[in-house]
Amino acid sequence: IFGYSKSIRSVLKFSYHKHSTMSINKVLVGVKRVVDYAVKIRVSPDKSGVDLSNVKMSMNPFCEIAVEEAVRLKEAKKAGEVIAVSIGPKQCSETLRTALAMGCDRAIHVTTDLRTDYMQLQPLATAQLFQKVAEAEQPDLVLMGKQGIDSDAGQTGPMLAALLGWPQATFAAKVEPVGDGLVVERETDSGTETISIPKLPAVVTCDLRLNEPRYATLPNIMKAKKKKVDVMDAAEMGVDLTAKNEVLEVYDPPPRKEGIVVGSVDELVDKLKNEAGLIQ
Amino acid sequence: MFPLRVGASKLVGRSSAATARHRMTATTMSAISVRDASTLVVAEPTKDGAVSASTLSAITAAVQLDGGTGKIALLSLSDGSHPPVDATSLPSEVQSILQAKLDGDSGALLAETVAEAVKAAAECGTFTHVVAASSKFGANFIPRAGALLGVSPVPDVVEILGEDTFVRPIYAGNALAKVKATDAPLKMISIRPTAFEKADASTGSSAAVTDLEVPSQSLTEWTGESVSKSDRPDLGSASVVVSGGRGMKSGDNFPILESLADKLGGAVGASRAAVDAGFVPNDLQVGQTGKVVAPDLYIAAGISGAIQHLSGMKDSKTIVAINKDPEAPIFQVADYGLVEDLFKAVPELTEKV
């Protein structure tokens, strides 16, 4: 595997697969550790970024959906091995344990202390790291969430597809293996559309309606501790990790003017007419 | 402000293999007007060749970037179902049009095809910026095109501070990031349509049209769509939006919101909870991971006001909240809050408005 650092080659072993009629032998699932969706974030007063100290972190909700889809494909015997991949600090091992507890077979942790909420490690470098893992693992399908709820960029999936020269289907609401490929129903601005991917491999990003992820049960969390997690250093993978869009500062959006409570529909109509000037 | 003119082959950092793979047609095109353009706007394909509201917002953003020199080119994507954009319905600031005729009935809808078109367009002009709206359509192809060109597009820009400095929302819009794009000589941005006024299309454009050849791709095929048909205004650009949440209890109750919307000439939206519960289709979803709207009037009925929903509507000029729970967080952003059962208040409002 020319051009890959020694650390990747030594860590990733060639996986032998029994010949199968499945076209999806191996699935890579990206899982991102992000601020928990319910947290009310606080911007640091020095404008250096969102304050993440002591903040609850969780698996990105759209990554949970991606893991669930991969595990369902495996349970339906439509996919073979499912590998969870996460890029981030040492605590990503917890995120990966959750993915393993949900049913992934093994995991790959690409370590970095760079912030992954758009501040430092940005989508293109993230996609390039995933590209290295994909080139070494040779999956038939890469599943990712449609966006991280911290950076809200939604770019890693399509960028990875471009780098690999693979077909893509974003905002997937339904994924159906068909023949050597997939049929994906995806969300659009006006409803949904159906995309046929005649031949794998492909990258699919997952949207809200694709499935409802399972909770990791305690027995499965315990079992997950025995599953393999390979660790590699992002800085040693031959990818330029610098942010191409340098974040100069992070600040609060302007506050809204305080509103009032009205006592009746009549009062509301009066306000809308005479104060807001919105209706005749 | 403008870069030195360089030959197209040096414009972006691509491998020579990539260059050979795509037929360069710059020499066969009368590309003078295209070569003068510095900003390329990618127009969303439409079924009738009209210019969409989000494309008009992208043109406004391009005008801001361009600094008034008027060197804006538009990439028009057409196929069997989507005719070329009608130049007379474009603002006069659009000086040149690149026309890409794409394969089949729906090549213009496939990210793989559109990304190749953007790449081909970028290679035949000396653009400094590529701009597109950050709709689902845009979000599908822009990152792919960026990766093909070795560029990191800045997504969902809400403010342009300079030709390389942009503001974008992060953390569901609870924080704003000011970023400096360091890619050169080409930068790409997607813009949030609600943050940029629609350019005035009545001026009409006399842009010359140049054909653009785009390599075909067979990675994906478009096989059909399911579109919500409505006579109401488009949710993303309506000036009034009436939205329902979990408090609506059922999709069967949404007609009471539809009546109010119709009385006000508005569109109907929904919170993620309502979409999750199957009350309404997903394209009505307003929120961090749905549509971002900024109408003159946003009426939220039976919506509690989760952070993720607020991020999709907090730029609305006037927000009205109707909810029987006085503690609902939505009241913190509402200009006018009415603590009442929506099943009583909404019909009454419809009658009296």
Q: What is the pLDDT of residues A5-46, one digit of tens each?
A: 555 544 554 444 444 468 899 999 999 999 999 999 999 999
Query: Which of residues 55 through 74 in chain B touch A, CB cutoff 8 A?
Result: none
| Residue A280's pLDDT band (cuts 50, 70, 90) | confident
How much is the pLDDT for B3?
A: 37
Question: Of the candidates B176, B190, B309, which has an alpha carbon nearest to the alpha carbon of residue B241?
Answer: B309
Mean pLDDT of chain A: 93
Check: CB of residue B270 under 8 Å from CB of residue B300.
no
**What pLDDT, on a 0 to 100 scale, did the predictor assign at position A50?**
97
* B146: its two tokens: 């960026």
Average pLDDT over residues B265-271: 96
Any chain B CB within 8 A of the CB of A257? yes
Q: What is the 3-state secondary structure (H, E, C) of chain A?
A: CCCCCHHHHHHCCCCCCCCCCCCEEEEEEECCEEECCCCCCCECCCCCCECCCCCCEEECHHHHHHHHHHHHHHHCCCEEEEEEEEEECCCHHHHHHHHHHHCCCEEEEEECCCCCCCCCCCHHHHHHHHHHHHHHHCCCEEEEECCCCCCCCCCHHHHHHHHHCCCEEEEEEEEEEECCEEEEEEEECCEEEEEEECCCCEEEEECHHHCCCCCCCHHHHHHHCCCCEEEEEHHHCCCCCCCCEEEEEEECCCCCCCCEEECCHHHHHHHHHHHCCCCC
Instruction: Flag if A155 and B183 touch (Cβ within 8 Å).
Output: no
- A248 contacts B165 by C-beta, under 8 angstroms: yes
What does the block give as tokens for B312?
């999709």
Do A140 and A26 touch, CB atoms closer than 8 A?
yes
Q: What is the pLDDT of residue B125?
A: 75
What residue type is assigned to position A112 of the chain? T
Task: Inform me whether the pLDDT recorded for B263 exceeds 90.
Answer: yes
Q: In terms of Cα–Cα distance, which of A121, A124, A131 is closest to A4?
A: A131
Give the pLDDT of residue B34. 55
Distance between A242 CA and the closest CA of chain B, angstroms: 11
Mean pLDDT over the full length of chain B: 89
Provide the whole-model pTM: 0.89
Q: pLDDT, tens digit, for every residue of A105-152?
A: 999 999 999 999 999 999 999 999 999 999 999 999 999 999 999 999
Using alpha carbons, select from A60, A64, A99 the residue that is nearest to residue A83: A99
Strand partners, A142: A28, A203
Closest residue in B to A51 (Cα–Cα): B175
Say if the Cβ atoms of B282 and A198 lie within 8 Å: no
Other C-beta atoms closer than 10 Å to the C-beta of A138 total: 12
For residues B281-305, give the mean pLDDT.
Answer: 94
Burial letters A24-33, b for 16+ CB under 10 A, else e: bbbbbbbbbb
Which chain B residue has the Cα nearest residue A205?
B140
Q: In chain A, which among 178-207 make CB contacts under 8 A with chain B?
A: 183, 187-198, 202, 207
Q: Which of residues 293-332 of B touch A (CB under 8 A)?
A: 296-297, 307-308, 314, 318-320, 331
Q: Using 50, 70 and 90 to split pLDDT, how confident is the model at B333? A: very high
Which helix (H) or strand (E) segment holds residue B269: the answer is strand B267-270
Q: What is the mean pLDDT of residues B77-81?
A: 96
Confidence grade of residue B71 (pLDDT, cut at 50, 70, 90): confident
Beta carbons of A193 and B180 less than 8 Å apart: no
Q: Note which residues in 225-244 of chain A have CB less than 8 A from chain B.
A: 244
| Encoded tokens for A125 | 């470098």
What pLDDT band is residue B14 in, cutting at 50, 70 and 90?
very low
Chain-chain contact of A247 with B179 (C-beta, under 8 angstroms) = yes
Q: Does the pLDDT at position B20 exceed 50? A: no
Q: Is A118 left (phi over 0), alpha (psi -120 to 50) or beta?
A: left
Closest CB to B177 among A118, A160, A188: A118
Q: B143: which chain A residues are within 8 Å (Cβ-Cβ)?
A: 123, 154-159, 162
Which one of B134, B335, B342 would you mutate to disrupt binding with A, by most A Cβ within 10 Å of its Cβ?
A: B335
pLDDT for the residue B103: 87
Q: How confident is the model at residue B230 (pLDDT cuts 50, 70, 90)?
A: confident
According to the model, what pLDDT value does residue B1 have? 36
Chain A residues with CB inside 8 Å of B169's CB? 152, 253
* Amino acid letter for position B261: A
Q: What is the pLDDT of residue B35?
A: 55
Asked if B233 contacts B297 with a C-beta cutoff of 8 angstroms, the reply is no
**Per-residue pLDDT tens for A65-113?**
999 999 999 999 999 999 999 999 999 999 999 999 999 999 999 999 9
Q: Does A255 touch chain B (CB under 8 A)?
A: no
Read off the pLDDT of residues A148-196 as tens digits, 9 standing for 90 and up. Answer: 999 999 999 999 999 999 999 999 999 999 999 999 999 999 899 999 9
Q: Does A254 touch chain B (CB under 8 A)?
A: no
Q: For residues A90 and A69, give the distance between their C-alpha atoms in angstroms, rounded to a whole number.
A: 26
Q: How does residue B21 score in pLDDT terms, banded at 50, 70 and 90?
A: very low
Q: For B172-211, what is each residue's pLDDT tens digit?
A: 999 999 999 999 999 999 999 999 999 999 888 889 999 9
Averaged pLDDT for residues B220-227? 95
- Residue indicated by tokens 């009546």: B259
Any idea of the CA torsion for B301, B306, B311, B316, to the nearest 10 degrees?
Answer: 30
Sort out which chain A residues have CB atoms less than 8 A from B109's CB and list them: 193
Dihedral sign from CA coordinates of B162, B164, B168, B170: negative
Residue A227, min C-alpha distance to chain B (Å) = 32
Contact (CB<8Å) B225/A117: no
Please state, in angstroms and rounded to a whole number, the distance separating the CA atoms of residues B258 and B346: 10
**Per-residue tokens: B309:** 């929903």
Give B-chain residues touching A189 at CB under 8 angstroms: 135-137, 236, 283, 291
Closest residue in B to A170 (Cα–Cα):
B140
Query: Are A265 and B181 within 8 A, CB to CB?
Result: no
In this complex, which of A147, A250, A268 lies closest to B336 when CB atoms are compared? A268
Model confidence pLDDT, tens digit, residues B88-144: 999 999 999 999 999 888 999 999 999 999 999 999 878 999 999 999 999 999 999
Distance, in Å, from the CA atom of A94 to the CA atom of B235, rounded to the nearest integer, reads 40
CA-to-CA distance for B130 and B117, rounded, in angstroms? 12
